[in-house]
Amino acid sequence: MTLEGQRALVTGGGRGIGRAIAGALTETGARVGILGRDEATLRDAVAAGAAADYAICDVRDAASVAAALGRLSGGHGFDIAVANAGAVETGPFLRSDAERFHRMFEINLIGTVNLFHAALPAMLERRRGRLIAIASTAGHRGYPYVSAYTAAKHAVIGLVKSLALETARSGVTVNAVCPGYADTDMAAASIDNVAAKTGKSREDALAALLRDNPQGRLVAPAEVAAAVLYLCGAGSGAVTGQSLMINGGEF
């Protein structure tokens, strides 16, 4: 597979799944720009060869996203835009006030909306493109103590399904990739949080997170990146409005 000559964007591309996606796209020949708020991690990813360039950006702010795309585009549109930036906050529903829901929707949903708004017009003009949202198994099922995050990820799946119908005859596809718990710093933080609140060991906390995963393991970021590559390839042109589950068989 080659994406030689194509230009790609990945939000939250400095670490974890975003960095794995950026690196995989780069390896296939795409010129990759990464977006994020932490300049040190972005600079490190570029220095390591995972991406060609970066721009500081707050995906919650539409003007910030548009400006970042302008800086990275070099006057050309992007062929691939991956909305990976996200965050999770935990807590029971009765302790999850409206502000927590606003925060989760701003980073997980509005961040996706802002990237798609900025990248889509050039794709429509050229009649080709790939919009991909990194959602979560939480976009398909409920989990306790993450109601705000789960609601936001369900909204991302709804966005993907609706926008795919709008763009179905345009040459642009819109899809989601939905990992289960992945081997990232976000999962490590969740494990630490469970251990701290329950008094369990980290091993027992990890086992609790994986109890619904038939494979009994964390998903590797490279496995998520492989799904993104498939959706970017020439053979995926008929795949749109879908959410590809990378979750070890969890239902």
Q: Helix or strand or coil: residue 248?
A: coil
Structure tokens that stand for 218 in this block:
């964390």
Structure tokens that stand for 24 in this block:
């995989």
Gap between the Cα atoms of 154 and 152, Å rounded: 5
Residues 6+ apart with CB under 8 A from 20: 221, 222, 224, 225
Q: Helix or strand or coil: residue 89?
A: coil
| DSSP classification of residue 106 | I
Q: What are phi and psi of 168, to 5 degrees?
A: -60, -30
Cβ-contact 61, 37 below 8 angstroms: no
| DSSP classification of residue 161 | H
Selected catalytic residue, list 54, 149, 181, 230: 149
Q: How far out from the chain centre does Cα 110 lie?
A: 12
In the block, tokens 């909204």 appear at 155
Angle (deg, nearest 10), helices 202-209 and 185-198 = 110
Q: Quick check: is 149 catalytic?
A: yes
In the block, tokens 């939250």 appear at 12
Q: Which residues are catalytic?
A: 149
